[in-house]
Amino acid sequence: MEDELTIIGYAPGAYDLFHIGHLNILKHAADNCDLLIAGVVSDEMLAQAKGRRPVVPLAERMEIVANLRFVDAVHAEVVPDKVETWRTVGFDVIFKGDDWRGTAKGHKLEVDFAAVGVRVHYFPYTMHTSSTLLRRALTAMDAGDPVGHVSRALTS
């Protein structure tokens, strides 16, 4: 009986170059479920979806996320279909940043999960930081640009 009352949440993400936006999503997700599973997208899936591999390898990203006190389990996400992941993992609610809300990807997610009784819950996207911005800053630093140029890379 107790399992019926437990809300299992799933928060998928790359979690590459772990930053405050990742932390915010996972903390908010944990506040909205009883058991939180973080789905860490595999290197191959990221290469397929974004056209580039992550900076931090999958095993290390999983270790980082697994060591957050509010994450109960991690799952290596190795298939592009989130419903297929749901069939393997089993969860009641999936958490995404609100940058997905109102997009074709977000609509597909909502429709697909409504069909299997899973709720999609959005959280505010942390606008001032992202792995893409951090990657740009690292590239600028590697190119020998002065720190002032790195600051502009983070805000452009």
In the chain, what are the domain boundaries? 2-125, 127-156
Q: Residue 44 is inside which H or E element, if any?
A: helix 43-50
> What is the pLDDT, as a whole number, of residue 153?
44
State the DSSP code for 16. Answer: T
Query: CB-based contacts of 156: which residues, under 8 Å, 6+ apart?
Result: none
pTM of the model: 0.81
> What is the pLDDT, as a whole number, of residue 27?
95
> What is the pLDDT, as a whole number, of residue 141?
61
Q: Is the pLDDT of residue 152 over 50?
A: no
Instruction: Pick 2-125's CATH classification: 3.30.479.30, 3.40.50.620, 3.40.430.10, 3.90.1150.10.
Output: 3.40.50.620
**What is the tens place of the pLDDT at every residue in 18-33?**
988 899 899 999 999 9
**What is the tens place of the pLDDT at every residue in 101-150?**
999 999 999 999 999 999 999 988 765 666 566 556 556 665 665 544 44
> What is the pLDDT, as a whole number, of residue 149?
43
**What is the tens place of the pLDDT at every residue in 52-85?**
899 999 999 999 999 999 999 999 999 999 999 9
Closest CA to 97 of 9, 1, 24: 24
Q: Is the pLDDT of residue 99 over 90?
A: no
Give residue for tokens 């930081």: 129
Residue 38 vs residue 17, higher pLDDT: 38
If DSSP codes are grouped into helix, strand and coil, which group holds residue 8?
Answer: strand
